[in-house]
Amino acid sequence: MQRATFAAGCFWGVEAAFRQLKGVTSTSVGYTGGHLENPTYRAVCTDRTGHAEAVEIEFDPSRITYDELLRVFWEAHDPTTLNRQGPDFGSQYRSAIFFHTPEQEAAAHASKENLNAGGRYKSPVVTEIVPASTYYRAEEYHQQYFEKQGTSHSRF
């Protein structure tokens, strides 16, 4: 198994998109990329901890590739808006890829370059690509949020 970590706005919908993919064995929502140890949702929402709302994915690379995960990541949000997704704004909603290996880093940079060169967006992609840091699992009520609410919110 391998891990992948992505931030693409509110983590509820992003997690729902990845949970349904064959080869994804588990997901969790949490916080990463900041400076506060053991952050809470309330603290992250102040936009002062430096954390992004993120999804950590465990996947079987023999069933789904990292490039396929990147494709879903790019489709799950607008990577051209700095610190904003839809009505949500603040650095906790930034677009980011937190790579775990040199291979993930290279794939992330290549996919971002291809997206910028492809002309899909009028504005440049602002997604940051940074090493994975400590990941803090969010409070339990955030995990698989849409499933707990009995709704489906995924476009995939």
In the chain, where the domains are located:
2-149
143 pLDDT more than 90? no
pLDDT at position 153 over 80: no
Q: Is the pLDDT of residue 67 over 50?
A: yes
How far is it, in rounded angstroms, from Cα 91 to Cα 73? 18
pLDDT value for 51: 98
Q: What is the tens place of the pLDDT at every residue in 81-96?
A: 999 998 999 999 999 9
The predicted structure's pLDDT at residue 152:
60
Q: pTM for the whole thing?
A: 0.93
Q: What is the CATH number of domain 2-149?
A: 3.30.1060.10
Cβ-Cβ contacts under 8 Å for 80 (sequence gap 6 or more): 121, 122, 123, 124, 125, 126
Q: What is the pLDDT of residue 119?
A: 85
Instruction: Give the three-class secondary structure for 101.
Output: coil
The band of 156, judged by pLDDT with boundaries at 50, 70 and 90, is: very low
Confidence band, pLDDT 50/70/90 cuts, at residue 145: low
The mean pLDDT of the chain is 93
pLDDT at residue 47 greater than cutoff 60: yes
What is the pLDDT averaged over residues 97-103? 98
Structure tokens at 154: 């995924």
- Catalytically active residues are 10
